[in-house]
């Protein structure tokens, strides 16, 4: 997993799997990289081959974190399988999904 940062955006990429056994670690790493100036988290899901409901859970958790500070979260280029689970659980309506 890679975490890069611009002035206002925290960019998370290189996530292979977002599943129960790594989800909490990902959330903790992202939260610790998050600075006050960050108004957006962009999570690049293009390399994410697999995501389960625990992975969804941490996306929701980060979404709530950002909402609390008037920020936002964007899911970038979700892979077909992550797109599938987002649609299955209707969460594609909750997140802003961006194709770049």
Partner 1 sequence: MNSFLPTVYRIETECDLAEARESCRKVRFFLDQLGFPEEESSRWELVLVEAANNAVKYASVEGSRLPITIEASCIENKLEIRIIDHTHGFEYPAKASLADPYDETGRGIFIIQTIVDRSEYFMGKSSNCLVLSKTYPKRIRQELDRGSEADQELGKQLFQTEETLAAMAEELSSCYESLTAIFRFSSELNVTRDTASFAEGLLKHLIQITDSDWYRFRLYDPDEALLIILSDHETNSNQAPLPFPRTDEDDLVKSLEIDSTRLRQDIWFDVDKPIHEEDSLFRSVREQSGIVHPFFMNETLIGVLTVGKNQSENVFTAAQINILHTFSDFLTIHILNTRFQEEKVRSHVVSRELEIATNIQRSLLPRQLPELSGFSISGSCTNAHQVGGDFFDMIPCSNHSALLVIADVMGKGIPAALFAAILRALIRAMPQISDSPGKLMSWVNNMIFDDLSKVEMFITAQFVFVDTRSNYLVASNAGHCPLLAACANGGNLNRITSEDMPLGIMRNLEYEQTRMELNDCRKILLYTDGLPEAQNPEGEFFSEKRLQEWLLLPTLEESDAMALGKKLIETIKQFQREAMNADDQTFLLLLREN
Q: Measured from the CB of residue 66, what is the shortest distance to partner 1 in angstroms?
A: 13
Q: How far is it, in rounded angstroms, from Cα 2 to Cα 93?
A: 26
Q: Measured from the CB of residue 65, what is the shortest distance to partner 1 in angstroms?
A: 11
> Which CB sits closer to partner 1, 4 or 84?
84
Q: Measured from the CB of residue 37, what is the shortest distance to partner 1 in angstroms?
A: 26
Q: Measured from the CB of residue 79, what is the shortest distance to partner 1 in angstroms?
A: 10
Cβ count near 28 (within 10 Å): 11
> Which CB sits closer to partner 1, 4 or 25?
25
> Which CB sits closer to partner 1, 36 or 80?
80
Binding site for partner 1 (CB under 8 A): 17, 19-21, 50, 52-54, 56-58, 60-61, 64, 80-81, 84-85, 88-91, 93-94
| 67 CB-near residues (< 8 Å, 6+ apart) | none
């Amino acid at each position: 997993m890679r975490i890069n940062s611009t002035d206002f955006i925290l960019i998370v990429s290189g996530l292979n799997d977002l599943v129960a056994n790594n989800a909490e670690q990902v959330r903790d790493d992202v939260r610790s990289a998050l600075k006050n100036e960050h108004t957006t988290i962009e999570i690049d899901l293009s390399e994410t081959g697999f995501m389960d409901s625990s992975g969804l859970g941490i996306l929701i958790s980060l979404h709530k974190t950002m909402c609390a500070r008037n920020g936002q979260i964007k899911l970038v280029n979700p892979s077909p399988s992550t797109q599938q689970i987002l649609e299955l659980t209707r969460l594609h309506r909750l997140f802003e999904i961006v194709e770049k």
